[in-house]
Structure 1
Amino acid sequence: MIQMANLVKKFGERIAVDGISLTIEQGAIFGLLGPNGAGKTTMIRMLTMLTRPTAGMLSINGWQLPQDEQKIKQILGIVPQHFNLDADLTAQENLELHGRLQHIPRVKRRQRILELLEYVELAERADDKVQNLSGGMKRRLMIARALLHEPQVLFLDEPTVGLDPQVRRRLWDLIRRMAADKLTVMLTTHYIEEAEFLCGRVAILEKGRLIALHSPAELCQRLGVYVVEWNVDEGRQTKFFHSRGEAASFAGTLTMTTTIRRTNLEDVFVELTGRKVVD
């Protein structure tokens, strides 16, 4: 569905994306991770045609950029990080406005709006003004708006930022349902547990380069399934092992209090980048 080969983006002498190659299959939920400045936003901007690559190949659904730009635009849906709904309009009116801008025929537009309000569980709030909706409802409405023209690929930029845990989980269920309906979803997130829960594969970027690409489980397996943690004056220390027995044996050699637990995607991220995702 999405293919990149040796993708490069430069801003003057600065290289923001440095020779990235990867493929994303149809119906996948794909996560893009990296500390601030790693190149995530630039990649999304290239994929959504807000900026053009300096070099390399980029194709979506078999069409290549920039020559097939108009065809590709028709199959993309984009949900930005920041709310950009019209607060003075109702949920239904926001979708109506967007449908008209997309030149969707009236009968189909009305049917699609009703379907999507039901799909994102906002049918009962259709006539409420956006300013009266909660953050989670606004995010679901933005997803409905992005799906209005029936795209094949959906880009989600920090889809649950600022939302409480219960609302985030509800959005996770919606994202998984979209993928089950064969929609390809690409998301960026600062919530590592979100990527671990949702994504079949993740790409970790650092200074514009692709430093890891696999399923969260496989990345953890490669690092070591179990981790021993302990604290010293310099801060937290960790060591990874491929069996709990090995981890326990090592922990037994330490004189301070230790914790043995399963490795998670955040461990992988910190080991590869040397930083927390929000750094």
Structure 2
Amino acid sequence: MNETINLLMNHKSIRKYKNEPVTDEQLETIVAAGQMASSSSNVQAYSVIAVTDPELKTKLTALAGNQAYIEECPVFLVWCADMYRLRETALPHTAGAETYEDTMENFTVATIDVALAAQNAAVAAESLGLGVVYIGGIRNNIEDISKLLGLPEFAYPVFGMCLGVPDQEPVLRPRLPLKAVLHKNGYSKEQTLAGAKEYDETLSAYMMERSGGEQSATWSEMMAKRLTQPARLQLKAFLKGKGFMKR
């Protein structure tokens, strides 16, 4: 174990923040660290919108499921997959050749790029004593949020990230046992399912402790609920409208 691994192993989602600012220097350092993440063919197909305006944060809070910490954190980052910049800067050099920014492959590249950059940024933020929480609810009303932030075609908001000085110390949430995730020389169905069964017991005990004995749901029960509830079914049509996934 070293300092970096200790930091990674102690990641906690922070949903309560002190009334202290994130400085411009901190913000720029965090995003610059995000930029150093791996990027497919160096396309760097992402952009980050830092939202500090209280009125804008209030609107985003309402659109993202009324998660109050969006409004309360000093900086809310909206991480966007962005093929617009790539297309616009490349077009003058294509000599009229057909371009393929609308393919499923390039959608995948942009989405992976932004996720890698955001996780680099999250680790950088935590190394500075700040806390973060990812906000998938940014996709609840994705069209309205895109219009609110002025996103062009071939750009979409993948998730948000609250950023600030932590004002809580949550208990670490246990993860799946390593044997359920790490496979050697091929995928083992038996191993992954055995690990998931073991995790059911671990997470149920965690939920009991966290809720003071009021909840004891297992991981598989939680995932069954998630799989049987339709969510954000408008996303496919929205993405196609933005120019993605046409080929």
- What is the TM-score when the length of structure 2 is the normalising length? 0.28
Higher strand share: 1
Greater RCO (Cα-Cα under 8 Å, separation 6 or more): 2
- What is the TM-score when the length of structure 1 is the normalising length? 0.26
